[in-house]
Amino acid sequence: MNLGYRTFLICALSIITSLCGQDLQPLVSRSSEQSSEHLQRMTSISEALQKVDKETLMKRRFRVLSKNINFTYNKTVDHLINYFKRDKKFLERANVRSAVYYPLFKEIFNEEGVVEEMINLSIIESCISPKAVSRMGATGIWQFMKYTGQTYGLHANAYFDERKDIFESTRSAAKFMKDLYTKYEDWLLVVAAYNCGPGNVNKAIRRAGGKRDIWKIYKHLPRETRGYVPSFIAINYIMAHKDESGLIDFNKNNPFFQLTSSSVERIAVKNRQLSLSKLASLLEVDKRLLYMLNPSLKYKVLPKSRQTYMLNIPAECIAKFNKNEDSIWTAMSDIVLPNRFLHTVQRGECLSIIADKYNCSVNDLKTWNGMGSDRLRVNQTLVVFTTKKKSTYKPKQTASTVATKYSERFNYGHVSYIIRQGDTLYGIAKNYPGISAQNIMIYNNMANAYKIKPGQTIKIPKVKS
């Protein structure tokens, strides 16, 4: 008899015996009070059996799941499985992106000798988003910090960042994991070290008396890592049992463009200008596909540089590219490249004010500067790109000069607006065509864009329609 099933029967019988004792008289002979008590007992029996049944099923599934990594099912893991299942949008995004990126991840991890289950770290790290940037500056699908990225050969300059390159960053992540496995010989310790660094894992091992088991050193790990490792286990379970979460299994029928070494051609670009939108037009391919394949190119354009950039194009386009290569590079010489500015943050400025000044978006500023939040500090230097010339920017004007400049434009009255929780001047301005956050600051004599609070009334100037 199967050991798990025999354990289940023993537990079930002991529960029935303890709850019912020797009282097996017919239900019809009981009083109404006894019948109610009996019904409660039977309900308790049913619930207990369901619990035993679930635990037996889960432990059996985890034994099957533990092909290359010894996954443990416990209360912490069970809690996180249920936590992720409740976040439907997160799981749906991860599932769709996995259909696109996992074929490539599996190829590279197999080549580097890393077990396939480790690709699910990409969900925990970034929900498989090449554009992800943490508040600490960790970047890309695999969330490399700048120093670690450089250690594993990921280069960056003002125009591209290989931490966002799907091919390069995945290769580097696999090499990093393999190096950690060589050190620890346990994939769950690799997961912990990937999150908090080998130094913290080594410290936890010492405090646990030299034990090299994730659950023996668990309480000695940093708090974030104590959530990170069981989250990795939970995601592996969910991705192996998608039907439980209502997720589509794209392994059976994948309608998306799948990234593999054979579906994409990589072209070395050096000392040449490049525009992805222009290239898309010349190759007659959807520019959004080129944008998706080249997330490391920060502004979708590249000036001449001595550094080599690896351009990714669909394999189906390579014949056309090779045939027209000379004319393509000739056409690229006509593209307009943005000018690069360094902006020093002044007291009271916020991202929306700076974006207004340079005619760009807040998201542009955050992308260019690798920012995970909207917070700025005085004298912080921001990189800004614009097609305007530096000479078009005038020195900072005084408040009275600015007020005079705007007086004619805003001479049509105003509407009142009451600040709500979570409001920003940038967000408010977007609801009023022709109005910017800076306009609101000037009209209300505000020196600091952050000093607004719920319940405060501000004036929104009207503009001539």
Model confidence over 399-411: pLDDT tens digits? 444 445 555 556 6
Q: Which of 357 and 126 is assigned the larger pLDDT? A: 126
Cα dist. 119→79, 83, 104, 176 in Å?
Answer: 22, 20, 10, 13
Q: What is the pLDDT of residues 266-275, one digit of tens each?
A: 999 998 999 9
Position 251 in a domain? no
Mean pLDDT, the chain, integer = 83
Question: Is there a single domain that holds both residue 233 and residue 177?
Answer: yes
Q: What is the pLDDT of residue 368?
A: 76
Question: Is there a single domain that holds both residue 186 and residue 99?
Answer: yes
Question: Measured between alpha carbons, how far is 164 from 452 in angstroms, rounded to an integer?
Answer: 36
Question: Measured between alpha carbons, how far is 362 from 364 in angstroms, rounded to an integer?
Answer: 5
Count of residues in the chain: 465
Radius of gyration of the chain from Cα atoms?
Answer: 30
**Domain end among 44, 65, 86:** 65
Amino acid at 401: T
Closest CA to 98 of 68, 127, 134, 76: 127
Is residue 237 a contact partner of residue 81, using CB atoms and an 8 Å limit?
yes
pLDDT over threshold 60, residue 389: no
Closest CA to 112 of 51, 169, 67: 169
Question: Is there a single domain that holds both residue 54 and residue 93?
Answer: no
Question: Is there a single domain that holds both residue 111 and residue 232?
Answer: yes
Q: Which of 442 and 207 is assigned the larger pLDDT? A: 207
Helices (H) and strands (E) in the chain, counts: 20, 8
Tokens at 104, concatenated: 């490539």
Q: What is the CATH number of the domain that holds 153?
A: 1.10.530.10
Q: What is the pLDDT of residue 79?
A: 95
Q: What is the pLDDT of residues 186-245, one digit of tens each?
A: 999 999 999 999 999 999 999 999 999 999 999 999 999 999 999 999 999 999 999 889
Domain span including residue 207: 77-245
**Domain end among 285, 310, 332:** 332
Residue spans of alpha helices (H) in 359-424: 362-368, 399-407
Residue spans of alpha helices (H) in 340-434: 351-358, 362-368, 399-407, 425-429
Amino acid at 436: S
Q: How many domains does the chain have?
A: 4
Question: Is there a single domain that holds both residue 102 and residue 222?
Answer: yes
Q: What is the pLDDT of residue 391?
A: 43
Closest CA to 92 of 101, 80, 102, 84: 84
User: Any idea which of 61-65, 353-357, 391-395 has the lowest mean pLDDT?
Assistant: 391-395
Q: What is the pLDDT of residue 76?
A: 95
Question: Measured between alpha carbons, how far is 201 from 212 in angstroms, rounded to an integer?
Answer: 10
pLDDT over threshold 50, residue 26: no
**At how many degrees (to 10) do helices 32-65 and 3-20 cross?**
160
